[in-house]
Amino acid sequence: MITCFIRYEIDPFKKEAFAEYARNWGRAIPKNGADLIGYFGPHEGSATTAYGVYNIESLAAYEAYRARLAADPLGRENYEFARREGFILKEDRIFLKNVSAPHAKLVLP
């Protein structure tokens, strides 16, 4: 299992458009085969940094997933929405493997 981290630089005046984009992926990504952890938008600190995070079995599975997502009507519509509205200024993607698991149970103070 690998985790894809997408770092976005977004227009700070279009945070609501990014939130709509994120909600759309909340439906489309799981439907097309990736385990969505979530999309995270600015709250405190930087008003221009946002993230999308999901798990996928392998890079080969990622390639098949991306093809399904591009063919999916909601996926195509969401890509077009982002292009048309211009709220994404930059997008970087990295794949990482969780090397700290298994984790201990959370202990509350």
CATH number, domain with residue 42: 3.30.70.100
Q: What is the pTM of this model?
A: 0.89
Tally of domains within the chain = 1
Phi, psi of 92, deg, nearest 5: -125, 140
- 103: in domain: no
pLDDT of the residue at 64: 97
- 39: in domain: yes
Domain residues for the domain of 14 are 2-96
Mean pLDDT of the chain: 96
- 32 alpha carbon, distance to own chain's centre: 13
Q: What are the tens digits of pLDDT across the range 32-67?
A: 999 999 999 999 988 999 999 999 999 999 999 999
Maximum pairwise Cα distance, the chain: 48
Structural tokens at position 41: 């938008």
Range from 9-18, 49-58, 97-106 carrying the lowest mean pLDDT: 97-106
> What share of the chain has pLDDT > 90, as a percent?
94
